[in-house]
Amino acid sequence: MKLTVGLSTCPNDTFIFDAMLHHKIDTQGIDFDYIMADVEELNRLAFRGEIDITKISFHAYAYIADKYKILDSGSALGRNNGPLLISKRQISPEQVPNLNTIAIPGKHTTANLLLHLAFDKLPLLKEYLFSDIEEALIKEEVDAGLIIHETRFTYQQRGLKKILDLGEFWEQTTGLPVPLGGIIIHRKIDSKIQKKIQEILRSSVQFAFENPNEPYKFIRQYAQEMDDQVMYNHIKLYVNQFTISLGNEGRKSIRTLLEKGHQIGMLPQIPEQIFVD
C-alpha cells in the first residue's frame, strides 16, 4: 500500500516525519510518497481531498472535518509558542483596529483565526507567504504583520517590535496550550489502516526524540537558509509531549479553538468524532 503525505519544510515537520518517510522504523508494509509545501498550500490540497495524510492548520481543518480525522501524534501545540503580531514602529494592541493593513500568513492559518479571536475589529488583511512578512514590514507595505514558525526568532534582529503574543492571549483566556497545526488522515481510508498510520507516526516522533541527530540531513535539506541554532530552537518550541500524543488536554484545546471559531461566526460546526481513536 502507498499513501501520500503532505508536510511543510519547517524543521518540526521534517524532524517528526523523517523516520517514517525514510523507513528508519517499521512502516508495517506501507510506503509513502510525500509532498513538501507551505502550510497554506497543504491546506488547499486537503480542501480538494487530494492527499491522504497531511499537516494542516487547525483553522483549516474545520472546513474539512467531515472528510478527515486528526491523528493523535504529530501535532504542534504548546505554551509560549503562538503567533506574534509585530510592527516596525511601536504600536499598542488598542491601536490595532485603527491600522490600515495587517499582513497574515494565509487566510486559513490558525494564526489568522487567533487574530480574529483576539480583536473584535480588524483593518484590511493582506495575505503573504509567512517568510515574506518581515520584509513587507521593513518596506512599510503594511502596518503590522502576523508571524509564525522560525520568524518569531528573527524579528527582533531586524528591528521589529511585538504588539501582541497571540499564544499568550490564548493561554490567558483559556488556560490551555495553543493548538496550531495537526496531522490529519482521510476518512475514506479504512479505520484499521488509520490506526496503523497513527502507530507509525508515533513511532517516527519517538525515534526522532531518541535519535535527535538522525533527522538532521532531512531537516537541513529544506531549511538551507536557516541558522542551526534557529533550526533547533524551532524544533524545541513546536515538538513536545503533545506531538507524541495529544492526550485529553490537547484534544480539549483543539475542540475549544474550533468551538470559539464557530461562536464568532468564522467556522462551521464540526462533527462529534474528529479524532482517530
Residues belonging to the active site: 149
* Residue 68 Cα distances to 113, 140, 183, 253, angstroms: 20, 40, 10, 18
C-beta atoms surrounding 215 within 10 Å: 22
Query: Pick from 230, 257, 210: which is nearest to 25 by CA?
Result: 210
User: What does the block give as the cell for 128?
Assistant: 503573504
Output b/e per residue, 50-76; b: 16+ Cβ within 10 A. Answer: ebbbbbbbbbbbbbbbeebbbbbbbbb
User: What does the block give as the cell for 8?
Assistant: 511543510
Largest CA distance in the chain: 56
* β partners of residue 126: 103
User: What does the block give as the cell for 153?
Assistant: 526568532
CA distance 55 to 40: 10
